[in-house]
Structure 1
Amino acid sequence: MSAVAISNREPLAETPGGWRIPGNKGIWVGITCEFVEFLVLFVVYFISRAHFPEAFAQGGEQLSRLAGTTITLLMVSSSYCIACAVATLRAGRRRASLGWLGAGLLLALGYPLAKYFEFQWNLAHGITGDSGIFFTVYYYLTLNHLVHAVWGILGMLWVLARHLGGAYTVDDYSGLEALASYWHATDIIWLVLFSFFYVLV
């Protein structure tokens, strides 16, 4: 996710029907690329699972559901805060918007931290990328998602700095909305990954 996509001052786009597309065109190009990338990875997941059903059933039982649930709560809570940051700015409450954005950033920072402790737990239990096909797919998809989440966190820092500098107003908040759109998309992908690796075992 580029800084251009979350700082673009182009007018908020409206469709012929009158409803508005949140954010800007740049961020939706990025979100589309993200979805296409993970769609390919999900195909890899299902092909692997179809060929090695026992490995996937046994592998899922070895993961820490506590870690997966913690990350899910952090992602969902962070997305909620970012949505509130947009809503309060629309209502003209700039200080509240800054507070919600800061809270969303702090919660988002908990994701890589929780992921670090999860990987440490995995290694302590002998779970590595070489432990079998399930874990190879698990590490590849979740680390890929972590990279996208880090881009989102960097985007939050950029948007927060701009927000503090007065870049967003009631009439011009496309950059903040673009960040929210990207983070919600990243959140949705994590919910799918959570289901694949921690629930559907």
Structure 2
Amino acid sequence: MIDATVRVTPDCAAEPAPKAPGSLAVWVFIYAELTEFGLFFILFLVAKAYFPADFSQGPQKLSTLAGITNTLILLSSSLCVVKAMAAIKLGHIKSTINWLLLTIIAGGLYCTVKYWEFGRNEALGISPRDDYFIAAYYYIGFNHLLHVLIGMATIGFVALLTAFGFYDAKNHEGLESAATYWHMIDMVWIIIFPLLYVLH
């Protein structure tokens, strides 16, 4: 008689499903933020359809150099966050803190370029009252800048907790949540850059 019993060996056991990085709370927050930016982008495209002259000439008024520089800065900051997460998983606390500090420095550079860019616009007489494109540019730009500042504060907080030994190789969900939020900020900028600085 054939034994139809199926024996599941440890090698055949089902592997646990991959877990999303960070906590559920941070993902709820990120989805809310992405919804907000999504609405901004939809309104931007609607305004572009209604006021094509403003939006076709708009990118030419902006500093493409500032946009490219900030893109490179934020991409570098994302690499720093990835390095920080790799270091904490290996238990390399000092390296983790250093990478997080570099992320904050990159955020500071982004803010510095933005400050220069807004100063340049003011010197050239570019104002949010000029047209619909410039108004949208300032609204989206300031909103994203606010998120960068929040992200810097968050990264600074988890860096401090890491220095005090709160996070280690086995316990780092909070740090992972902060890293995920920072990646969201970078991803949104990747959409903002061509939308404001490139597409006519």
Normalised by the length of structure 1, the TM-score is 0.90
Structure 2 equivalent of residue 85 of structure 1: 84
Q: CA deviation at 1:17?
A: 5.5
Structure 1 equivalent of residue 35 of structure 2: 36
Structure 2 equivalent of residue 10 of structure 1: none
Give the aligned residue type for 1:44.
L
How many angstroms apart in 1 are the aligned matches of 2:104 and 2:136?
28
Structure 1 equivalent of residue 193 of structure 2: 194
1:17-56 to structure 2, matched below 5 A, reads 18-56=17-55
Q: CA deviation at 1:125?
A: 0.8
User: Which string of whole-angstrom CA distances, capped at 9 and with x for unpartnered residues, describes residues 54-113 of structure 1?
Assistant: 211111111000111111111111111011100111122222111111111111111111
Which structure 1 residue ranges, 5 or more long, are not aligned? 1-15
How many angstroms apart in 1 are the aligned matches of 2:126 and 2:175?
39
Q: Percent identity?
A: 35
Structure 2 equivalent of residue 123 of structure 1: 122
Structure 2 equivalent of residue 107 of structure 1: 106
How many angstroms apart in 2 are the aligned matches of 1:118 and 1:173?
37
User: Which string of whole-angstrom CA distances, capped at 9 and with x for unpartnered residues, describes residues 96-154 of structure 1?
Assistant: 11111111111111111111110000011111100101000110011111111111011
Report if the CA contact (8 A) 2:93-2:163 is conserved. Answer: no
3-state SS of paired residue (1:20): coil
Give the aligned residue type for 1:75.
L
Structure 1 equivalent of residue 146 of structure 2: 147
Structure 1 equivalent of residue 66 of structure 2: 67
How many angstroms apart in 1 are the aligned matches of 2:199 and 2:179?
28
* Moved >3 Å (runs of 4+): none
Normalised by the length of structure 2, the TM-score is 0.90
Structure 2 equivalent of residue 132 of structure 1: 131
How many angstroms apart in 1 are the aligned matches of 2:123 and 2:187?
29
Report if the CA contact (8 A) 2:66-2:117 is conserved. Answer: yes
What is the count of residue pairs matched by the alignment? 186
RMSD: 1.1
Q: Radius of gyration: which is bigger?
A: 2
How many angstroms apart in 2 are the aligned matches of 1:19 and 1:152?
26
How many angstroms apart in 2 are the aligned matches of 1:44 and 1:177?
32
How many angstroms apart in 1 are the aligned matches of 2:196 and 2:16?
40
How many angstroms apart in 1 are the aligned matches of 2:16 and 2:193?
36
How many angstroms apart in 2 are the aligned matches of 1:17 and 1:105?
34
